[in-house]
Chains A and B, each alone.
Chain A
Amino acid sequence: MYTVEGDMDDGYVHPLGTGAVWQRSEFNDMNHASNGESLRQRGYNARETISGPREAQYQNWMDDLSQDENKPIKEFICPMKTKREIRKKQERMLAKKTGWDSWKEEKRRSFRKFRGKTSESLKYVEVWRSSLQNIEGHFGTGIQSYFHYLRFLVLMNFVTFLLVGGFIVIPSIVFNELKLDDTSGTTTTTDSAASNISQCLGYNPNPKGLVLYYTFIMDVLMGTGFMELTYMFYGYYKNTSVNLVGFFYNVPLAYLVTTLIYFLLSLVWMVIRSVKGFKQSLVKEDSAMTNYTNKVFGEWDFCMKDPKIIKLKKSSILYELKMDLEEEEMRRIHAQRTMAQRAGIYILRIVLNFIVYSLIGAAFYCIYLATSKSQEWLKEEKVKGDFILELLVGYMPSIVITAANFILPMIFNILIGFEKYTLIWQIRHTLFRCIFLRLVSLGMLLFSLWNNITCGGNIDEANCITCGYNSDIYKCWETRIGQEMYKLMIFDFLTVLVVILLVDFPRKMLIDHCSCKPIQLWGQQEFLVPQGVLDIIYGQTVCWIGTFFCPLLPLLNTVKYTIIFYMKRLTLFSNCRPALRTFRSSSANFFFLLVLLLGLALSWVPVLYSVFVIKPSVGCGPFRGQKTIWQTIPTTVLTFPKAAEEFFGFIGSQAFVIPLFILSCTLMFYLMALSSSYGKLVNTLKDHLQMERSRTILLNQIH
């Protein structure tokens, strides 16, 4: 297939080998082409010359192995003129082809065009496309990935809102307006005495007595009062079940099933997105092996037009290369450490890790305490009378969480410097600690709430025995959880706004107008992508946990993230400079989706626990009177025809679930074994390739 001339005349040389001189076969070959011959078979070879006449100086790197007839011409590796000639010849050949072949060709081409056109028109439907392109042009792909991520979450929240709104909120509103409620009757508890029911039932969020002037604002900010009696919170929904002619709608069932659906939808959507990133990171080698080449060849963003940004990019590349060279030095010194020094460093690391995790533990304890105390103090009279105090006490958990997430990472950054890790490990450790702090602090808040609601899991305690939950404090505990999530969301939003308005803008103004040394050294605000992404992951986890208890939360989250998008874009263009250390978007994309999946998994725990274990409030909500929220499903299944009931009964029973579980495990192990064997195969092939090349060099040297 390839004829080789020149020095290398022994044996077969790989077409992409080094320094081979190839023979060029002219375009005449195409004229002799008969039906069905691919370009490859026509011997489309490349000629490379070192220097030569004007025409031959242009090199043709013909990638024979992929020059298929089926490949579109635009992917051929030849100058435009050649491509046009090929196209003309293809047209002529097409005219010569008869019947089936030409029809097939035509269909293939028109399908390709159709696909191109649809993907092009789909691009116009993309929201904020021009913004993202603008950001990419000015600041590069790293920062653009943050906004890309934000847009993905906005879309996901919006879709969740559509689901929730369509299946839960709107039917409830409709049934309420049409007064179709209470067909399934009021609470029917069979396991409590009549007198006890009244204690569980006394749910009245309307304040008694004096209505103060600030009640409205307080209610909006805390989610209490009139807000509790809106479709915002779980407590307002009724257990209506409409059974008109031919139309059957069971609100509790819809509520439960919609929750499961949007959780599954989010999971599937994110898994699909992360698979793309995962594929890339599998193929990619260990970054230590390609560090410098990536910096030299893959770093420069050809999209950038702004000279200021280009200057910054050059400085950042310079900085990174210098850091890398320093790292090399440091690694060399590390390797030369003595045993005593090494032992010293390990001890230091253990001590510092101990400090870090004890700080984190202290933060968790503070959050736990803050949550319990805030629940207690809100009942007290002296707190209720004072606007500021009540607000502070109500928002105490949020304030403590945000403060911990603000202060502790700064301490981590300082401490990690002493641990003498290499740069990449420093980043990884800090990131891991921040993620751990954020997600588990949320878990602590929920744990504290659970403790209060279920009296520490002990149903037989004094407060919990009558209703199955702590009805002293919580007449409607689901709404209370919803309120806490609502408050967290609002506070997070306010924090972002306050930081942008009161920190970024004044800082920029100071730097512009005041030329004293310390301020200039402080410098412009850096747009830090990892922190920003962790923030929005945290917000999204809060939303997922809260949606079951506060169905309108996805809508609020959509609005919140949209506003944050615009505000961050504004602050990016007015105040920020790109970070000195480039954010490698491709590898991080997959990593952040992974963390988001972790957040989703975390959010399942409280929701599923509430659905399966805790007794729903007797006085409010669509599940009042049931033993558990999940009970809706078995009750509904019982109303199905016999065959369906038996089918569902079988699926739910152990006889089905356990074999299914075993089967899934087996499948998973099989896939893992398959993938590891593929990995081994890839490594073997790489070794073979290396060996081939060394062999040809040796042969070369012998001659």
Chain B
Amino acid sequence: MQPCTMWNLCAAGKTESCELPGSEKVYLLKQDCTFFTRKEILRLHARFYELAPNMVPMDYTNDPEVRLPLQLIINMPELVENPFKERIVQAFSEDGEGNLSFNDFVDMFSVMSEMAPRELKAIYAFKIYDFNTDNFICKSDLEQTLNKLTREELEAEEVTLVCEKVIEEADMDGDGKLAFADFENMISKAPDFLSTFHIRI
């Protein structure tokens, strides 16, 4: 009898035609660790597989270490038009370079789904907006964010002015840059954050 792969499980919907070794347990584990249901995890795997059919295995029983490079991930239709796509993928990758394993892939969409709580999203949002990864959102990070948001059509002095205003509004300890505490405090007051910071897949 052939071992059950992801395709057997979701195509047939039944398991009597195949043997269930560890793969079922793999998805079961994932289900508790993400906000997705089993069906959605299988669907995510299908999307992951589509990105690189020659690299991604169908059978995840042995938990293979397959990482897809940044370039493949940011071409997904959900991300390709997003100005922060590289930062998003880098924030969820283990090496910080943007190479995602399937674990990280599921993690990314799980945190960005609408069911993740605000605190979780705030942490990853901070990582995303911290362009130079110094654990602070400083003025240069803000300027880069602003330019990405407005297609670089704001004049330089306007950009500076807006960045100053943002720091003025959010910085609690007066060091001229935003630490995570300031960011989280500000996010808790931003009413739209929870609804805008999510990607539907």
Contact = CB atoms under 8 A, between A and B. Distances in A.
Whether chain B is bound by chain A comes out as: yes
Interface of A: 14, 16-19, 48, 50-51, 54, 57-59, 61, 63, 66, 72-75, 77, 79-81, 83-84, 87-88, 116-117, 120, 133, 136-137, 140-141, 280-281, 283-285, 289-294, 296-307, 310-311, 314-315, 317-318, 321-322, 325, 584-587, 689-690, 693-694, 696-697
Contact of B181 (A17, A301, A585): A17
27 contacts: A16-B184, A17-B179, A66-B119, A75-B119, A80-B30, A84-B103, A88-B29, A141-B192, A289-B189, A291-B169, A293-B186, A297-B125, A297-B187, A298-B190, A298-B192, A302-B112, A302-B197, A303-B196, A303-B200, A310-B81, A314-B149, A317-B149, A318-B150, A318-B154, A321-B154, A690-B172, A694-B173
A292 B173 contact: no
Given A296-B142, A693-B173, A137 B154 contact: no
Contacts of A79: 92, 94, 103-104, 107
B62 interface: no
The 3 A-B pairs of least Cβ separation, nearest first, read A80-B103, A298-B190, A586-B191
Contact of B190 (A18, A83, A290): A290
B180 interface: yes
A321 to B, nearest CB: 6
Contacts of B195: 141, 585-586
B117 A75 contact: yes
Interface string B164-201: 01100110111100011110101111111101111110
Given A80-B33, A290-B169, A585-B195, A318 B151 contact: yes
Contact of A290 (B32, B175, B189): B189
A253 to B, nearest CB: 46
Contact of B158 (A294, A298, A322): A322
B81 to A, nearest CB: 5
B27 to A, nearest CB: 11
Given A310-B81, A317-B150, 8 more contacts: A17-B181, A18-B173, A18-B179, A19-B136, A141-B192, A283-B188, A297-B187, A586-B191
B95 A77 contact: no
Nearest to A696: B173
B158 A321 contact: yes
Contact of B95 (A57, A72, A280, A306): A57
Contacts of A77: 119-120, 123
B173 A298 contact: no
Contacts of A586: 191-192, 195
Contacts of B135: 19, 48, 50, 59
Contacts of B154: 318, 321-322
Nearest to B82: A302
Contacts of A88: 29
Nearest to B26: A84
B33 A74 contact: yes
B119 A83 contact: no
A141 B196 contact: yes
Contact of A58 (B95, B173, B187, B190): B95
A354 to B, nearest CB: 36
Contacts of B158: 321-322, 325
A300 B147 CA distance: 13
Given A16-B181, A293-B170, A58 B94 contact: yes
A683 B96 CA distance: 39
Contacts of B103: 79-81, 84
B67 to A, nearest CB: 12
A300 B174 contact: no
B66 interface: no
Given A58-B94, A79-B104, A303 B198 contact: yes
A276 B120 CA distance: 21
Contacts of B75: none
B161 interface: yes
Interface string B130-144: 000111100000100
Contacts of B180: 16, 61
A74 B192 contact: no
A526 to B, nearest CB: 20
Nearest to B153: A318
Contacts of A141: 192, 195-196
B35 A58 contact: no
A84 B30 contact: yes
Nearest to A49: B135
A290 B90 CA distance: 28
B127 interface: yes
Contacts of A80: 30, 33-34, 103-104, 106-107
A57 B191 CA distance: 31
Contact of A296 (B136, B146, B181): B146
Nearest to B146: A296
Given A292-B165, A305-B81, A697-B173, A299 B33 contact: no
B127 A59 contact: yes
A288 to B, nearest CB: 9
Nearest to A285: B189
Nearest to B145: A296
B94 A307 contact: no
B110 interface: yes
Contacts of B119: 63, 66, 75, 77
Interface string B4-35: 00000000000000000000000001101111
Contacts of B197: 298, 302
A51 to B, nearest CB: 8
Given A80-B103, A80-B106, A296 B81 contact: no
B200 A300 contact: no
Given A58-B96, A293-B169, A694-B174, A298 B35 contact: no
A54 B180 CA distance: 22
Nearest to A144: B195
Contacts of A14: 181
A322 B154 CA distance: 8
A133 B200 contact: yes
A298 B193 contact: yes
Contacts of A117: 37
B66 to A, nearest CB: 13
B120 A289 contact: no
B129 A297 contact: yes
A314 B37 contact: no
A299 B129 CA distance: 14
A84 to B, nearest CB: 5
B173 A302 contact: no
Contacts of A297: 125, 129, 186-187, 190, 193
A72 B37 CA distance: 14
Contact of B149 (A50, A290, A300, A303): A300
A503 to B, nearest CB: 31
Given A73-B32, A693-B172, A57 B198 contact: no
A294 B192 contact: yes
Contacts of A293: 166, 169-170, 186, 190
Given A48-B135, A141-B195, A297-B193, A74 B110 contact: yes
Contacts of A302: 82, 84, 112, 196-199
A117 B39 CA distance: 12
A294 B190 contact: yes
Nearest to A320: B150
Contact of A54 (B34, B95, B181): B95
Contacts of A285: 189
Contacts of A59: 127, 135
Contacts of B59: none
A292 B166 contact: yes
Contact of A307 (B32, B81, B95, B146): B81
Nearest to B105: A80
B78 interface: yes
B58 to A, nearest CB: 19
A235 B96 CA distance: 74
